[in-house]
Chains A and B, each alone.
Chain A
Amino acid sequence: MSNANNENTVSESTQIDRKHYGPTFPILLGALGAWTLYLSAQLPDFIQRGRQLPGPRYFPTILGIFFCVAAVVELVRYLRQRRNRTVPAPSIRQRAFAVMQDWGSHSVVLILASLIVFVPLIRYVGFIAGGIVFSALVMLRLRAKWYNAIILSVVVVLVIAVVFGMLFRVPLPRGAFGIAL
Chain B
Amino acid sequence: MDVVVQLLHPSVLVPWMLAMLFGIFAGATPGLTATMATALIVPISYYMSPVAGLAMIIGATFTAIFAGDIPATFLRIPGTPASSAAILDGFEMNRRGKGGFALTLDLLCSSIGGLIGVAILIMVAPPLARIALRFSSAEYFWLGLFGLSMSAVVSKGNTFRGIIAAAFGLLISTVGMDVTTGHPRFTFGQLELLSGVGFIPAMIGLFGLSEVLKLASDPATLNVPSITQSAKISLLGALPAIWRHKITVIRSALIGTFTGSLPGAGADIAAWVAYGVSKKASREPEKFGSGSEEGVIAPTSANNAGLAGAWIPALVFGIPGDAVTAIVVGAMLMYGLRPGPLIFEQSREIVDSIFMIAVVTQILLIGAGLLGIRAFSRILRLPRNAVMVIVLLFSAVGSFALENSFFDIYVMIAFGIIGFYMEKNDVPLPPLILGLILGPMVERNLRVGLVRTHGDFLPFFTRPISAVLAAALFITLFGGPIWNLIKGRLKQP
A residues sitting closer than 8 Å to B (CB atoms) are 19, 21, 25, 29, 32, 36, 39, 43-44, 46, 51-56, 58-60, 63, 66-67, 70, 73, 102-105, 107-108, 111-112, 115-116, 118-119, 123, 127, 131, 134-135, 138-139, 142-144, 148, 152-153, 156-157, 160, 163-164, 168-172
Among the 9-residue stretches B242-250, B342-350, B444-452, the one with 4 or more Cβ atoms under 8 Å from chain A is: B444-452
CB under 8 Å from chain A, chain B span 377-427: 383, 385-386, 388-390, 392-394, 396-397, 400-401, 404, 406, 409-410, 413, 416-417, 420, 425-426
B167 & A73 in contact (Cβ 8 Å cutoff): no
B425 & A160 in contact (Cβ 8 Å cutoff): no
**Contact (A135, B393) CB under 8 Å given A54-B446, A63-B167, A63-B170:** yes
Interface pairs (13), CB distance under 8 Å: A19-B426, A32-B171, A39-B186, A46-B181, A53-B451, A60-B186, A67-B164, A108-B216, A111-B216, A143-B219, A153-B389, A156-B390, A164-B397
Give, as a whole number of angstroms, the nearest-CB distance from B48 to chain A.
9
- Determine if B218 is an interface residue (Cβ-Cβ < 8 Å): yes
B392 & A138 in contact (Cβ 8 Å cutoff): yes
Cα distance, A152 to B383, chains bound together (Å): 11
| Closest chain A residue to B213, Cβ basis | A108
B393 & A160 in contact (Cβ 8 Å cutoff): yes
Give 20 A-B pairs besides A138-B388, A169-B47, A170-B401 with Cβ atoms closer than 8 angstroms.
A46-B181, A51-B454, A53-B451, A55-B181, A58-B447, A59-B447, A63-B174, A70-B160, A104-B219, A105-B217, A108-B216, A115-B409, A116-B413, A123-B406, A143-B219, A156-B389, A160-B397, A168-B44, A168-B401, A171-B404
**Contact (A152, B185) CB under 8 Å given A25-B425, A53-B455, A143-B222:** no
B216 & A152 in contact (Cβ 8 Å cutoff): no
**Contact (A144, B47) CB under 8 Å given A55-B181, A107-B216, A131-B393:** no
B186 & A56 in contact (Cβ 8 Å cutoff): no
| Closest chain B residue to A48, Cβ basis | B451
What residues of B have a CB within 8 angstroms of the CB of A164 in the complex? 44, 397, 401
Give, as a whole number of angstroms, the nearest-CB distance from B196 to chain A.
14
Give, as a whole number of angstroms, the nearest-CB distance from B398 to chain A.
8
B392 & A135 in contact (Cβ 8 Å cutoff): yes
B410 & A119 in contact (Cβ 8 Å cutoff): yes
Cα distance, A112 to B401, chains bound together (Å): 20
Give, as a whole number of angstroms, the nearest-CB distance from B158 to chain A.
9
CB under 8 Å from chain A, chain B span 161-177: 163-164, 167-168, 170-171, 174
What residues of A have a CB within 8 angstroms of the CB of B443 in the complex? 59
**Which of A56, A123, A148 interacts with B386 by CB under 8 Å?**
A148
B164 & A60 in contact (Cβ 8 Å cutoff): no
A111 & B212 in contact (Cβ 8 Å cutoff): yes
| Closest chain A residue to B223, Cβ basis | A143
What residues of B have a CB within 8 angstroms of the CB of A157 in the complex? 393
| Closest chain B residue to A123, Cβ basis | B406
A139 & B397 in contact (Cβ 8 Å cutoff): no
Listed residue (B180, B397, B416) with the most chain A CB atoms within 10 angstroms of its CB: B397
Cα distance, A5 to B406, chains bound together (Å): 55
- Determine if B183 is an interface residue (Cβ-Cβ < 8 Å): yes
Cα distance, A156 to B9, chains bound together (Å): 29
| Closest chain A residue to B401, Cβ basis | A170
**Which of A39, A142, A160 interacts with B216 by CB under 8 Å?**
A142
B167 & A60 in contact (Cβ 8 Å cutoff): no
What residues of A have a CB within 8 angstroms of the CB of B455 in the complex? 51-54
Give, as a whole number of angstroms, the nearest-CB distance from B431 to chain A.
13
| Closest chain B residue to A45, Cβ basis | B181
What residues of B have a CB within 8 angstroms of the CB of A118 in the complex? 396, 409
| Closest chain B residue to A131, Cβ basis | B393
What residues of A have a CB within 8 angstroms of the CB of B181 in the complex? 44, 46, 55-56
What residues of B have a CB within 8 angstroms of the CB of A148 in the complex? 386
For the complex of A and B, the 8 pairs showing the least CB-CB separation, nearest first, are A104-B217, A142-B385, A56-B178, A107-B216, A168-B47, A170-B401, A54-B447, A59-B443
CB under 8 Å from chain A, chain B span 219-253: 219, 222-223
Give, as a whole number of angstroms, the nearest-CB distance from A109 to chain B.
10
Cα distance, A73 to B163, chains bound together (Å): 13
B174 & A59 in contact (Cβ 8 Å cutoff): yes
CB under 8 Å from chain A, chain B span 33-73: 44, 47
Cα distance, A24 to B16, chains bound together (Å): 45
Listed residue (A104, A116, A157) with the most chain B CB atoms within 10 angstroms of its CB: A104
**Which of A60, A144, A171 interacts with B383 by CB under 8 Å?**
A144
Cα distance, A14 to B273, chains bound together (Å): 28
What residues of B have a CB within 8 angstroms of the CB of A63 in the complex? 167, 170-171, 174
What residues of B have a CB within 8 angstroms of the CB of A139 in the complex? 385-386, 389
**Which of B183, B386, B390 interacts with A44 by CB under 8 Å?**
B183
Listed residue (B383, B389, B410) with the most chain A CB atoms within 10 angstroms of its CB: B389
What residues of B have a CB within 8 angstroms of the CB of A169 in the complex? 47
Cα distance, A55 to B409, chains bound together (Å): 32
B223 & A119 in contact (Cβ 8 Å cutoff): no
Cα distance, A58 to B445, chains bound together (Å): 13
What residues of B have a CB within 8 angstroms of the CB of A70 in the complex? 160, 163-164, 167
| Closest chain B residue to A53, Cβ basis | B451
| Closest chain A residue to B217, Cβ basis | A104
What residues of B have a CB within 8 angstroms of the CB of A170 in the complex? 397, 400-401, 404
Cα distance, A127 to B443, chains bound together (Å): 40
What residues of B have a CB within 8 angstroms of the CB of A116 in the complex? 410, 413
What residues of A have a CB within 8 angstroms of the CB of B409 in the complex? 115, 118-119
